[in-house]
Structure formats: structure tokens, C-alpha cells
Amino acid sequence: MARPVLAFDVYGTLFDTRGVIAALAAYAGQDAGALAQLWRDKQLEYSFRKGLMGAYQDFTQCTRQALDYVCTRAGLALDDEQRSNLLAAYDHLPAFDDAEPALEQLETDGFAIYAFSNGPARAVWSLLQSSQLAPYFLDVISVDEIRSFKPDPEVYRHFLRRANCHGSGTWLVSANPFDVIGALAAGWQAAWVQRDSAAIFDPWDMEPSATLRNLTELRALFG
């Protein structure tokens, strides 16, 4: 049996978006953790809204605007250099500890591995290269190429065209329930990486094809 094509989400799945907390703490102190989560929530909200409105701006702009919201909400009066320093933290997020061993196992087993992201390809490649994960990926397929965002069905169709594969033979690997549901609705298989044991999968009458505690469980899933 042919091995499935694997499409790895990037932010929150391979890379820990909480990695911005240390940078935020320099300005927000003990509130940094809560503000980092608000930043992430607004980043995603803005991408959803822009997608629905047909008013595309890339994920970098969503991230910048979400930071502006956070600063206003928290009363942080940051200058341009300080804001740039915080945005740079998103360009240097740490990879989760399970990312490299899982990818190494899957590459050894002969899987075709792609990064599939809301982020622009240049930003994703930069993250992959800085964390030494780039060699495991055949390519980065970004929503930026069609100017929309997950979970727009067209985004998942675009991936299939670019990777020259079929939905039934493609697995999304993502820690984001909205992404998993989008892939399932598009006819893919999808593994939800439940990085937080308290996380709840959205009750939309759909279940992930598999639920994993971490990425290293993928090998057993396909074994």
C-alpha cells in the first residue's frame, strides 16, 4: 500500500507559539502569558475574518495587527523598534521537542512530507531552516499562493494540486481543531495533535481520523 502524503501544519503544531512569551515579558511582566494567547487568538481571528471578507492580507500582516490590538488592550505604549522586536519573536519560534525525532522517523520510513501553512512560504522556510527541520520537507505549500486562509476549502484543494495527490491519500497533521475540521470537510484524513490535555475538539459532528498526544505517535499510527 502506498504511504499517504503528510501535510504538517506549522504554527502550534511544529512550532510553539508560546515562544513569544519571553519577549513579551520584557514589556508586560507577569501578564505575558495571557497576552501571548490573546495575540495568537486575534491573529487567527483576523485571518478568518479577512478570508470571509475576501480582503486578503498575508499572515504576517494579521500577526502585526493582532499585536497592535494586544498593545492597545494592555495599555502597552511601545515604539516601532519594540514592536519590531516582538514581531521578530514570531520569526524565531522554538520547535516542539517532538518535531525533529518524529520527522526523522517519518522520512526514514519513506513518507512524502510537506509543510502546509497560513504563513507565507518565506517565513515558514525561515523557521524550518533556523530549527534545522528544513531537510525533512519536500516543499512548503502556503495559502499565500491563492490569497486565502485555512479552513477555506480552496486552500485544501490547492495543496492537492501542488503536491499532486488525492484527499483520500493525504493526511493533515495539526494541533488546530479548525484546521483538522477543514481538512476532514475537504475529504482528507486528519490527525489532531492534542498538545494540551485540557483542549477540546470542536463539537461539529466530526471526529479526527486520529488523536495523538505528540508527533512521535505518528509512526505507530502509520505502522
Q: What is the DSSP letter of 167?
A: G
CATH number of the structural domain spanning residue 73: 1.10.150.240
Do 109 and 198 fall within a single domain?
A: yes
Q: What is the CATH number of the domain that holds 134?
A: 3.40.50.1000
Closest C-alpha to 131, from 4, 10, 21: 10
In terms of domains, do 56 and 117 share one? no
Residue pointed to by grid coordinates 492537492: 160
The answer to whether 190 and 180 have CB atoms below 8 angstroms apart is yes
Residue 216 has pLDDT above 90, yes or no: yes
What is the per-residue pLDDT across 28-62, written as a single tens digit (0 to 9) for each?
999 999 999 999 999 999 999 999 999 999 999 99
| 155 and 112, same domain (yes or no) | yes
Q: Are residues 64 and 114 in the same domain?
A: no
Same domain, 67 and 163: no
Alpha carbons 87 and 124: distance in angstroms, whole number: 14
Alpha-carbon distance values, 86 to 18, 90, 167, 198, 213 (Å): 12, 7, 37, 28, 30
Paired residues of 211 in beta bridges: 192
Given 9, 58, 144, 152, the catalytic residue? 9
Using DSSP's 3-state secondary structure scheme, residue 78 falls into coil
- Cell numbers representing residue 6 in the block: 503528510
Q: How far apart are CA 33 and CA 24, in angstroms?
A: 8
Contact assessment for residue 37 and residue 217, using Cβ atoms and an 8 Å cutoff: no
Summarize pLDDT for 151-194 with one digit per residue, the tens: 999 999 999 999 999 999 999 999 999 999 999 999 999 999 99
* Containing structural domain, residue 175: 5-15+93-222
- pTM, two decimals, is 0.97
Total structural domains within the chain:
2
139 is catalytic: no
